[in-house]
Structure 1
């Protein structure tokens, strides 16, 4: 089991939707603002994404708002 990390940025409505869904699911997650963290931005780009949101659980990652995947992530994540 791994921690959920949500890579986001200010003003990103899909990012807010992902955060709301994770909150609804009661899933613990760490939110990282890629505009404030160069290493996080490099990590997101290294995964092959140029925009947010990107949600990561261990070696698994998904771009955008995907409710079914977020449910899977919540079920497979560990508490921080």
Structure 2
């Protein structure tokens, strides 16, 4: 699962989001919006107005959303179980 967190410096919600994703065992990529102004512009054009912006394969949101991070962790765990079961069937 690819998760990208678009952040900015000195952003408490960005830091909280990264901590919670790490706590839930979700791997993620970080994009610093200060270093990527064209990406910031694209996100603003798409309607995002707050950092962090989190993009997953199935959803996106802004701000610190521990409820959505927990849902993402549950989806990730379910996908891992399904993949593990498939491996057992193939073995």
Q: Same fold (TM over 0.5)?
A: yes
Unaligned runs of 5+ in 2: 80-91
- Alpha-carbon distance between aligned partners in 2 of 1:46 and 1:30, rounded to the nearest angstrom: 21
Q: Secondary structure at the match of 1:48?
A: coil
Of 58-67 and 27-36, deviating more is 58-67
Deviation at 1:75, TM superposition (A): 3.9
* Between structures 1 and 2, the one with greater strand share: 1
Larger radius of gyration: 2
Aligned pair count reads: 77
Equivalent residue, structure 2, for 1:21: 20
**CA shift in 2, pair 1:40/1:76, >3 Å:** farther
What CA distance in whole angstroms lies between the structure 2 residues aligned with 1:36 and 1:10?
Answer: 10
Deviating runs (4+, > 3 A) in structure 1?
74-78
Moved more, 40-49 or 9-18: 40-49
Query: Which consecutive unaligned segments of at least 5 residues does structure 1 have?
Result: none
| TM-score, reference length from structure 1 | 0.82
Structure 1 or 2: more helix by fraction = 2
Distance 2:42 2:74 in 1: 24
